[in-house]
Amino acid sequence: MWGATCGVVFSFNVSTWPEALFAGKTHIDSPVGSLLVAGDDEALHYLSFPSSPKAIRPGSDWHHTDAPFLEVRRQLIAYFDGTLRQFDLPLFLTGTAFQKSVWRHLATIPFGETQTYGQLAAILERPNASRAVGAANGGNPLPIILPCHRVIGGNGSLTGFGGGLPTKEYLLQHEGVLTPSFLLD
């Protein structure tokens, strides 16, 4: 079982882990629906919106277990209660070096703030890669935890989100970025 990483905001392991270490999955109820979380005894691998077309489909060898995910559950509840602004969990990410650089940057976007795809590309010193940033953002295996919902279009519009635009709107309203009047315009 694992818990908070004692002050280290995120732990990114880039090695390949044997499937034998995979602990399983559980569902966590939230204001945006039931969230599927999956991982092993060392780190969280996935968070998925089961109703999404991009939902992670559990493998036949994934078993249901709550024990490894107690800290994830506690932090998600605190986030939705408004008492947690930054997650502190060990994470395991599988992706290209570019994807991982985008996902690492997502963890630095503060609660209640947004960046555009173009701004994120410029920060990563790839100013012409806003579409690639969007693709990496779309492949984020840990939405909410790595807050891809905080990335918006260059004109300020809300663009794609694996959990659906209503969920993105909810998360940004929850963080105080969007007001109901913004959504009426």
Q: What is the CATH number of the domain that holds 160?
A: 1.10.10.10
Q: In this structure, is residue 2 part of a structural domain?
A: no
**End of a domain among 63, 92, 121?**
92
pLDDT digits (tens, 9 = 90+) for 80-97: 999 999 999 999 998 999
Please, which pLDDT band fits residue 180 given cuts at 50, 70 and 90? low
What is the domain count for the chain? 2
Q: What are 28's strand-pairing partners? A: 35
Structural element, H or E, at residue 89: strand 89-92
Q: In this structure, is residue 3 part of a structural domain?
A: no
Q: In this structure, is residue 47 part of a structural domain?
A: yes
**End of a domain among 74, 92, 110?**
92
Q: What is the pLDDT of residue 9?
A: 35
Q: In this structure, is residue 87 part of a structural domain?
A: yes
| List 44, 106, 148, 158, catalytic entry | 148
Structural element, H or E, at residue 168: helix 165-174
Beta carbons within 8 Å of 4's beta carbon, 6+ residues apart = 71, 75, 88, 89
Please check the confidence at residue 165 and state whether its pLDDT lies above 50.
Answer: yes
Please check the confidence at residue 105 and state whether its pLDDT lies above 60.
Answer: yes
Q: What is the pLDDT of residue 1?
A: 37
Verify that 28 and 71 share a domain, yes or no: yes
As a whole number of angstroms, the distance between CA 115 and CA 153 comes to 8
Please, which pLDDT band fits residue 145 given cuts at 50, 70 and 90? very high
Q: In this structure, is residue 172 part of a structural domain?
A: yes
pLDDT digits (tens, 9 = 90+) for 16-52: 334 445 679 999 999 999 999 999 888 999 999 877 7
Q: To the nearest whole number, what is the mean pLDDT of the chain?
A: 84
Q: What is the pLDDT of residue 98?
A: 95
Verify that 113 and 76 share a domain, yes or no: no
Q: What is the pLDDT of residue 109?
A: 96
**End of a domain among 92, 109, 127?**
92
DSSP 24-44: EEEEE--TT--EEEEEESS-E
Q: What is the pLDDT of residue 185?
A: 47
CATH code of the domain containing 70? 3.30.160.70
CB atoms within 10 A of CB 124: 17
Is 6 considered catalytic here? no
Q: In this structure, is residue 1 part of a structural domain?
A: no
Q: Where in the sequence is the domain holding 48, given as residue range(s)?
A: 10-92
